[in-house]
Amino acid sequence: MSETALMLVIHEVMRRNRVRDGIVYLQMSRGAASRDHVFPPPSVNPTMVITAKNLDRAAIAKRAELGVKVISVPETRWARRDIKSVNLLPNVLARQAAKEAGAFEAWFLDEHGFITEGASSTAFIVDAEGRIRTRGLSHDLLHGVTRAALLRLARECQMVVSETPFTLEEAKAAREAFISAASNPAVPVTAIDGAKIGKGWPGPVTRALRVAYLGA
């Protein structure tokens, strides 16, 4: 369908679900076909599912004010994590492990001891030199649009940005840490694996970046 028609459908989904302040999610597939391990013919029509839901603004505000806890888990995902797909079993298991540990998010730790990203978010730290660090784009992580927006805003605000990987030890020793996702921009991380980050509460860089993002 055309972009105009798609926007009409999105607004209708929002209306029917009474969404005023929330999120719309689009999920695409190649189309319905017989089960097989090869692609169906080009004549198959793509399938699109659109959902919309209201977000809990109070919960989002509380996470921003108090910060969240994170745990680390071994990286168990496939080698093309830059592809946005529905193959999310490792991510689901990681988030469940975080919930059972009393944390909000899980950060994947690769075989070299570096953090890749969160189960459903991008991982950032503010290191000892005051630089905002996050792993550079590659096949190792999802190229999140919120990540890109935050980095652009950080540079516009004259913050120093370094797209370099960081270890779990560097994260625990950081001045600040935070996560980003479509519904959770610049959420402070106050503890990783039980280790307090900085002074144990949201830091000034994360707060400033969140204000810049929400005001953009």
Number of domains in the chain: 2
Measured between alpha carbons, how far is 63 from 199 in angstroms, rounded to an integer?
A: 16
Same domain, yes or no: 135 and 82:
yes
In terms of domains, do 71 and 83 share one? Answer: yes
The CATH number of residue 65's host domain is 3.20.10.10
Residue from 84, 99, 196, 199 carrying the catalytic annotation: 84
| Tokens, residue 115 | 């953090």
pLDDT tens per residue across span 7-26: 999 999 999 999 999 999 99
Please report, as a single letter, which amino acid is at residue 40: P
What rounded mean pLDDT belongs to the chain? 96
Q: What does the pLDDT read at residue 216? A: 59
171-191: average pLDDT: 96
130, 165: one domain: yes
**Cα–Cα dist 199/125, whole Å:** 14
Confidence check: pLDDT of 182 > 70? yes
pLDDT at residue 83 in the model: 95
Under 8 Å between Cβ of 197 and 172: yes
pTM passes above 0.75: yes
* Residue 55 and residue 14 in contact, taking contact as beta carbons nearer than 8 Å: no
Domain shared by 126 and 71, yes or no: yes
Residues 135 and 161 reside in one and the same domain: yes
What length does the chain have? 216
| In a shared domain, residues 193 and 115 | yes
Judged against a pLDDT cut of 80, whether residue 196 lies above it is answered with: yes
Interval 167-179 mean pLDDT: 98
Task: Give CB contacts under 8 A, 24+ apart, made by 54-60.
Answer: 54/17, 54/18, 54/19, 54/20, 54/21, 54/22, 55/21, 55/22, 55/23, 55/183, 57/21, 60/183, 60/184
Domain limits for position 51? 3-55
Model confidence pLDDT, tens digit, residues 68-110: 999 999 999 999 999 999 899 999 999 999 999 999 999 999 9
Let me know if 53 is a catalytic residue: no
Q: Quick count: other Cβ atoms within 10 Å of Cβ 19?
A: 17
Say how far apart CA 67 and CA 191 lie, in whole Å: 9
Q: Is the pLDDT of residue 52 over 70?
A: yes
Q: Model confidence over 120-159: pLDDT tens digits?
A: 999 999 999 999 999 999 999 999 999 999 999 999 999 9
